Chains A and B, each alone.
Chain A
Amino acid sequence: MSHDPHPPRPLFERAIVRTAIFEALAKLDPRRMIRNPVMFAVEVGSAFTTVLFVHAVLTGHGDAPPAFILAVALWLWFTVLFANFAEAMAEGRGKAQADTLRKARQDVLARRLRRGVEATAHLADPARRSEALDEVVSSSLRVDDVVFVAAGEPIPADGEVIEGVASVDESAITGESAPVIRESGGDRSAVTGGTRVLSDWLIVRVSTNPGETFLDRMIAMVEGAKRKKTPNELALDILLAALTIIFLLATVTLLPFSRYAVTSSGHGAPVPLTILVALLVCLIPTTIGGLLSAIGIAGMDRMIQANVIATSGRAVEAAGDVDVLLLDKTGTITLGNRQATEFLPAPGVDERELADAAQLSSLADETPEGRSIVVLAKERHGLRGRELEPLGATFVPFTAQTRMSGVDVEGRQIRKGATDAIARFVEAHGGVFPAKVRGMVEDVAKLGATPLVVADGAHVLGVVQLKDIVKGGIRERFVELRRIGITTVMITGDNPLTAAAIAAEAGVDSFLAEATPEAKLAMIREYQQGGHLVAMTGDGTNDAPALAQADVAVAMNSGTQAAKEAGNMVDLDSNPTKLLSIVEIGKQMLMTRGALTTFSVANDLAKYFAIIPASFVGVYPALGALNVMGLRSPTTAVLSAVIFNALIIVALIPLALRGIRYRPAPAPALLRRNLLVFGLGGVVLPFPCIKLLDLALTALGVS
């Protein structure tokens, strides 16, 4: 990518924060809260303590001093609001991210072909176009409508080119400033609404109804109402609900227990309901309960930031589980084209002579291979590219019959091409194809490279080795993937020999040579049978079955509509290497959930030490010994714990939105680190924090 179209959004953007605050209030609706059992319990607790407060004010002899009940009630409401705010922030950021993408697709004027009109006949001729076209707004376009887009006009909707070739500016979506070619047929036929035709014209069949585009689907997933819980989220929700019930039992039973204690010891008073509610809220996993949905939405946000549109949260989560990556060789593992890497002179020929002849024969050769020969000769031997015309040279282009190209200059006939073609050429000139060179050719092929033989008339000068160039850094990336347990499989149309050589060079674990769509599909099924989760990228229509079968299927935005429909993610940058980032985002989301759950539960220990002595010291003064933090009074102890419990949610919002730091490492190392940080940290951190809050409350005159 030449530049990043969506620079990382500041964590708390003012506009988003403002909307999120209102949203947090709106989300208090119990019908929405019930989707989150933990926070629903907090809301019920808040309402209950509010009632207790009103009761205390009205009757004068409430459950506890009214001011204390009010303080607890307020902080419980804050707890709910903070959690809602976190969710609203994540939603807001997701929507804002999507809006930037959506800006590209504001309503524009579209020229729709009238039904029943034959497109080709009318549209190819500029004069007759207007007869066949209606001007409509883009939002009224439906699937299978056909539109005409001329140079300088925006493409009104996602669709498929059915006629024409044009260069299209897709920078609004991909950030890539170089225009791309879109043409009918083949794998470059898909166009995206909001991009702009730069030259020529296109006839496009609309492929989505308004509101059904990938972007729309993704926005729906970010927005609360339609969001479905992912499988892991569901399992975690069950665990959190179970914990909530356990803590509910542990606190509710304290009422009869403390009543018994009062009766049997003859002094003190049973624990106030306000304190029981406070204890309950502190114990139930509010930290993770409050941030759970925010974490999920933030995962989607990060996908959008990576310019990937996921069509289900399930796919984002599955990305973390993927342990087999199928990667297309071309574009992902190697640079697109073969390049000359070596001049191998025939016996008795100087390498420089070979380089010079090869360069001469390639000067007019505009193919990437030809250009790379010119460059290599310049780099190795300082031979500068020359103009053919002053030399009086004639270029002999490549044809399917001769299977060689070259140049006729100063009586020389220089040719380069496949071995057998050059052999025929040399023999036709009365020369002999040396056995040595034949051996060299075989050696080059064994290395997975393509040999190009160069001859001057009857003399064979040598061999140019053309090689697939493995992308820089990709090998290290694969080592990293192997460390985290992901197998990489290279998919290529090359023969097994070439494929094996490139696979070895790139460091992939396995390869599929001479790959056909059927072979790809079979391979995915085989891996899945073995319990693996497979991710792949694809762009062509023939990739569609494999994409549909894969667990995580990333379709390139430049690919065909069929490929996009079959996949569960679309990469707007059409960058196959993106798969690696997608896996990371998936893992990061799961890790953030696990880490915050551990943290949330670990926090409870300190809260017990704060609230248990505070609740029962009246009945059993000896329990004061458990007040290890030396909190000033039962009132400040309970309030400090409740305030800590509420503030920690706010403090962790950035972590929930950004996700915890992900470093590729084997599972045990990751676990050890996260247990240390979030488990042990979760146990230790609340002690000083609660103590500080207690000191602050004391300083404020609360006693």
Chain B
Amino acid sequence: MTADATTLLLLYLLALLALAAPLGAYLARVYRGEARVAQRVLGPVERLLYRLSGVRADEEMSWKKYAGCVLLFNLLGALLVYALQRLQAALPLNPAGLASVSPEVSFNTAVSFATNTNWQSYGGETTMSHLTQMLGLTVQNFVSAATGMAVLVAFVRGFTRRTTDGLGSFWVDLTRSTLYVLVPLSLVLALALVSQGVVQTFHGATAAHLVDPVTRAHHTFGEQALALGPVASQIAIKQLGTNGGGFFNVNAAHPFENPTALSNFLELLAILLIPAALCFTFGALVNDRRQGWAVLAAMLVIFIPLAVATTTFEQAGNPLLTGAGVDQVASALSSGGNLEGKEVRFGIAGSALWATATTAASNGSVNAMHDSFTPLGGLAPLALIQVGEVIFGGVGSGLYGMLVYAILAVFLAGLMVGRTPEYLGKKIEAYEMKMASLIILLPAAATLLGAAIACAVPQGVASLGNPGAHGFSEVLYAFSSGANNNGSAFAGLDVSGVFYTTAIGLCMLIGRYWVIVPALAIAGALAKKKLVPVGPGTLPTNTPLFVGLLVATVLVVGALTFIPALALGPIVEHLQLGAR
């Protein structure tokens, strides 16, 4: 790690914790309905929304009803996005005159944005009209994030409530997440980004006169069309809501999405801000801040080494290029390292940290091309996705995923201290284990089976941009990203065909809803239980020992599932690189 990289990482972590702690406390007040100041300002809007939609604010839903509402709401959202894409040629706000989107890409995109994945099998500026981007994608950016937060809050209520069926109202949790959290934060971030030069306009494109005209196929081009649009507003929520779907094809590597080092830092912060804050919210809601700290600590214990590893491997550069006499050493003028596919203005430090953060959180926005990372530099992001997007993870979804791992850890540990396992005073029994197993099993199954089918069918192999182990890494990354709702791509793989759009679309559905429904089922079962009083025989879950156990559980489950596949991808690629 260079001094720059170390400084950036430290600054980043400091800023993250400094902002996440108060935000987390505020979030807890929001969900308890105790955010006085905010409610004075936004309360009337909230109540108006309830009146208009006929929602009873004090409704208590059973887990089944809660899950039903989540599914229904997400289904309607996906249908709207699908319709907007299919009809966009006939709809307004389409200055570039883009055609309607194909059925398979429309399906894939609708699923992708509803599931908070934001996997993009298309290039934004050349496929989606402003209307589709704003009304379809940006709206989903808000509500898919809010869905995750709502489910998390319901999940935590499973621990805090006793002998009841009620997990709260999905509509209230959804509205509060959007109105009190996502909208105000996005507004602030969008303005900050505009100050850095991120564009925000309804104009279609503008022409730039080239200083040095380019000649291609006997044509000389003196002008370049620069795509514009309502970018800043979408970027703000795409970063904050762990969405990641860029306005432009190259996502945050594009200078209109992410022009400066400061915009890069702000967008980086926005990636992990809410997932980190929710850990504090969790601690506040269960009335034991140290529980929140423990979960956050476990996330950091995995995140920091992987961020350091990615930076180190990228900084070390490509041994083949070193062999060819290329200068990859950091200096005052160059960040050095493996700069292929990276923006010079972000350098190794800014790119590697982003790659780690965006895959730790299920954000998936990129400011560098992961496909061009060194094998081990690319392994860390892949691993972060494959542990199930629980190291920060998606807003809400990451934390409830992590809490499911905590349940698993507590189960093993509880047996080892000679008691029926319990977490936060709730006994963990066969039903909870069944649901927790589903949550861990299904995304992993979708990833492995998806990649296996892709390797076996001609359509899967035909789309590969690279042969050998690297091509395999691309396929594995694509399915990992889809099934864990990350949405970033290794690129190098053409995913716009029917096979990949459909297969990854299905993976995204499994990875989202086959986690949400069992998670709510666990919450429902836990809420019904009595609270076991804490005593010396109880295993404390807010100590370093438990943090270590949780980290080990996450890593062991992830490693045992994916080591064989990883051995055939990045690991062998790395070994071959060294052997050559």
Contacts and interface: CB of A to CB of B under 8 A. Distances in A.
Contacts of B468: 261, 264-265
A622 B441 CA distance: 31
Contacts of B467: 264
Nearest to A237: B430
A11 interface: no
Interface string B541-578: 00101000100100011011111110110011001101
Contact of A594 (B413, B461, B564): B413
A260 B418 contact: no
Interface string B406-417: 001001111111
A482 interface: yes
Contacts of B452: 252-253, 255-257
Contacts of A595: 415-416
Given A246-B561, A623-B567, A484 B415 contact: no
Interface stretch (B95-103, B185-193, B303-311, B527-535): B527-535
A320 B412 contact: no
A531 interface: yes
A667 B461 contact: no
A251 B564 contact: yes
Contact of B444 (A239, A246, A482, A486): A246
A594 B414 contact: yes
Interface size bracket, A side: 35 or more
A622 B568 CA distance: 11
B419 A256 contact: no
B247 to A, nearest CB: 35
A390 interface: no
Interface string A625-646: 1100000000000000000000
A245 B416 contact: no
A321 B543 contact: no
Contacts of A263: 461
Contacts of B531: 531
Given A261-B469, A485-B537, A622-B572, A587 B415 contact: no
Given A485-B538, A666-B537, A590 B564 contact: no
B418 A253 contact: no
Nearest to B472: A260
Interface residues of B, number: 68
Given A250-B448, A250-B564, A254-B564, A620 B469 contact: yes
B297 to A, nearest CB: 16
Interface stretch (B34-42, B147-155, B329-337, B432-440): B432-440
B452 to A, nearest CB: 4
Nearest to A283: B560
Contact of B433 (A235, A246, A670): A235
B411 A235 contact: yes
Interface stretch (A26-34, A461-469, A671-679): A671-679
A525 interface: no
A246 B560 contact: yes
Which of B416, B437, B557 is most buried by chain A, counting CB atoms within 10 A of its CB?
B416
B568 A670 contact: no
B404 interface: no
Contact of B563 (A232, A256, A261, A608): A608
A614 B579 CA distance: 18
A598 interface: yes
Nearest to B532: A531
A316 interface: no
Nearest to A626: B567
B472 A261 contact: yes
B175 interface: no
A590 B448 contact: no
Nearest to A611: B564
A394 B468 CA distance: 111
Contacts of A239: 408, 411, 433, 437
Contact of A590 (B419, B430, B432, B552): B419
A591 interface: yes
Given A238-B434, A484-B536, A671-B545, A679 B552 contact: yes
Interface string B469-500: 10110000000000000000000000000000
A594 B415 contact: yes
Nearest to B563: A608
A257 B549 contact: no
Contact of B472 (A242, A255, A257, A670): A257
B568 A249 contact: no
B449 interface: yes
Contacts of B536: 482-485, 666-667
Contacts of A588: 418
B8 interface: no
Nearest to B533: A531
A523 interface: no
A190 to B, nearest CB: 32
Contact of B415 (A234, A250, A597): A597
Contacts of B537: 323, 484-486, 666-667
Interface string B514-535: 0000000000000000111101
Contacts of A257: 451-452, 455, 472, 564-565, 568
A487 B533 CA distance: 12
B412 A597 contact: yes
A532 to B, nearest CB: 7
Contacts of B556: 601-602
A283 B411 CA distance: 20
Contacts of B445: 245-246, 249
Contact of B449 (A253, A593, A612): A253
Contacts of B72: none
B52 interface: no
Contacts of B432: 235
Contacts of B549: 671, 675
A604 B437 contact: no
B59 interface: no
Interface string A316-350: 01001101000000000000000000000000000
5 smallest A-B Cβ distances: which pairs? A485-B537, A594-B415, A587-B418, A242-B437, A594-B416
Given A667-B419, A675-B416, 20 more contacts: A239-B408, A246-B561, A253-B449, A259-B455, A260-B461, A264-B471, A265-B468, A265-B469, A323-B537, A530-B530, A532-B532, A591-B416, A591-B417, A620-B575, A621-B579, A622-B576, A626-B571, A668-B543, A672-B545, A678-B416
